[in-house]
Amino acid sequence: MINIWMGPSYDVPNVLLTFGEQSDEKYHVTADYVIRGATPVGSDPQYMEAYFNEDVSRSWDSANDGAAPLAPPKSMDTRLLASPAKISVGDLSLEKATEICDKHIDRFLEWLEVAKQVPARSRGSFNMRDDKLRQFYYKGEIAKSVEDFGSQLGPVVAAVNTGPTAEAYVGGGS
């Protein structure tokens, strides 16, 4: 699992990537770019062109070739994060799963290279929205971990990764 939650300084989508072995010689990949910013998805054509364009669509179309779509998550909290580009596929060869993961991360790294800084006055709203997205993400992961393993580790991880971070961006500069 690789999750990259961006700070409020740059307007680049957050990254979610989960991959692993399903059974002997078969693998699964769930990949998404979590939409950020103050505008609803689809309302800013420049954002859509930069991050959810034909390149992403073609890449995911090729990922679906010969793959089995996986069921959506049970948790509504987890579903709230899904972008139009989310894929969740299984029955992949190791080579195909690796290719999908590499493309997902490489595309994100290319976006980082050309990312523009968010104006300081807008960073608080970015952070507030991202903090809520992280809370939904971890709430969904907690539900999944309890369902799968009966684990109580999820609340600890969620508490560490939300809340205090928001305080760091609203302090002395305001």
Name the pairing type of β-strands 87-92 and 26-34.
Answer: antiparallel
Confidence of residue 19 (pLDDT cuts 50, 70, 90): very high
Residue 81: per-residue pLDDT: 77
Residue 128: per-residue pLDDT: 83
| Rounded distance between C-alpha atoms, residue 7 and residue 151, angstroms | 28
The residue ranking higher by pLDDT, 156 or 26, is: 26
Range 65-91 average pLDDT = 77
Does 172 score more than 50 pLDDT? no
The residue ranking higher by pLDDT, 74 or 155, is: 74
Tens digit of each residue's pLDDT (9 = 90 or more) over 150-170: 555 555 555 555 555 555 555
How many residues does this entry show for the chain? 174
Q: Which of 126, 130, 122 lies closest to 15, judged by CA?
A: 130
Tens digit of each residue's pLDDT (9 = 90 or more) over 81-102: 788 888 888 999 999 999 999 9
Tell me the residue ranges of DSSP E strands in 41-156.
68-69, 87-92
Range 57-65 average pLDDT = 72
Range 5-29 average pLDDT = 89
Residue 157: per-residue pLDDT: 59
Coil/strand/helix, residue 173: coil
Residue 167: per-residue pLDDT: 53
Q: For the beta carbon of residue 54, count every other beta carbon within 10 angstroms.
A: 9
Does 15 score more than 80 pLDDT? yes
| Rounded distance between C-alpha atoms, residue 74 and residue 162, angstroms | 22
Q: Which of 71, 97, 81, 56 lies closest to 137, judged by CA?
A: 81
From edge to edge, which strands make up the β-sheet containing 2-4?
A: 2-4, 14-23, 26-34, 87-92, 68-69
**Domains annotated on the chain, with CATH:** 2-168 (3.40.1500.20)
Does 108 score more than 70 pLDDT? yes
Longest pairwise C-alpha distance within the chain? 55
